[in-house]
Amino acid sequence: MRTFLFLFALSLNLFVSAQLRFDYPIKELDKVEFLVTYSLNFCEDSLKPDVIRKQDMLLFIGKSIRYFTSHNMYVADTMMKQVKNVEQFQAILSNPNRAIPLVRFRYKIYKNFPNEKLSFIEHIPSNTFKYEENLNIFQWKLTNDTCTILGYNTQKATCDFGGRSWVAWFTSEIPYSDGPYKFNGLPGLIMKVYDTRNHYVFEIMSIEKPEKELMIEFVEKEFLETTKQGFFKAEDGFRDDIINRAKEAGMTSGSQQTAARNLSKQNNAIELNRR
* Strand, helix or coil for residue 73: helix
Is the pLDDT assigned to residue 14 strictly greater than 90?
no
What's the pTM value of the predicted model, to 2 decimals? 0.90
Q: How confident is the model at residue 20 (pLDDT cuts 50, 70, 90)?
A: low
Range among 16-20, 75-79, 198-202 with highest mean pLDDT value: 198-202
Q: Is the dihedral of CA 146, 150, 152, 154 positive or negative?
A: negative
Helices (H), 43-193: 71-80, 86-94
Domain that holds residue 247: 2-135+206-264
For residues 139 and 160, is the Cβ–Cβ distance under 8 A? yes
| 151 φ/ψ sector (left φ>0, alpha ψ -120 to 50, else beta) | left
Kindly state whether residue 196 falls inside one of the protein's structural domains: no
Number of independent structural domains in the chain = 1
How far, in Å, CA of 7 to CA of 66, rounded? Answer: 31
Kindly state whether residue 243 falls inside one of the protein's structural domains: yes
**Which position has the higher pLDDT, 13 or 64?**
64
Kindly state whether residue 149 falls inside one of the protein's structural domains: no
| 30 φ/ψ sector (left φ>0, alpha ψ -120 to 50, else beta) | beta
Q: How much is the pLDDT for 146?
A: 98
What is the chain's mean pLDDT, rounded?
88
Q: How confident is the model at residue 257 (pLDDT cuts 50, 70, 90)?
A: confident
pLDDT, tens digit, for every residue of 123-140? 988 789 999 999 999 999
Kindly state whether residue 214 falls inside one of the protein's structural domains: yes
Kindly state whether residue 62 falls inside one of the protein's structural domains: yes
Poorest-pLDDT segment among 12-26, 184-198, 234-248:
12-26
Instruction: Give 135's DSSP letter.
Output: S
| CB count in 10 Å sphere of residue 64 | 12
**Which position has the higher pLDDT, 77 or 191?**
191
Poorest-pLDDT segment among 47-61, 105-119, 240-254, 261-275:
240-254
Kindly state whether residue 175 falls inside one of the protein's structural domains: no
Mean pLDDT in residue range 54-78: 96
Q: How much is the pLDDT for 64?
A: 97
114 cis-preceded (ω within 30 degrees of 0): yes
Kindly state whether residue 236 falls inside one of the protein's structural domains: yes
Q: How much is the pLDDT for 8?
A: 43
Kindly state whether residue 193 falls inside one of the protein's structural domains: no
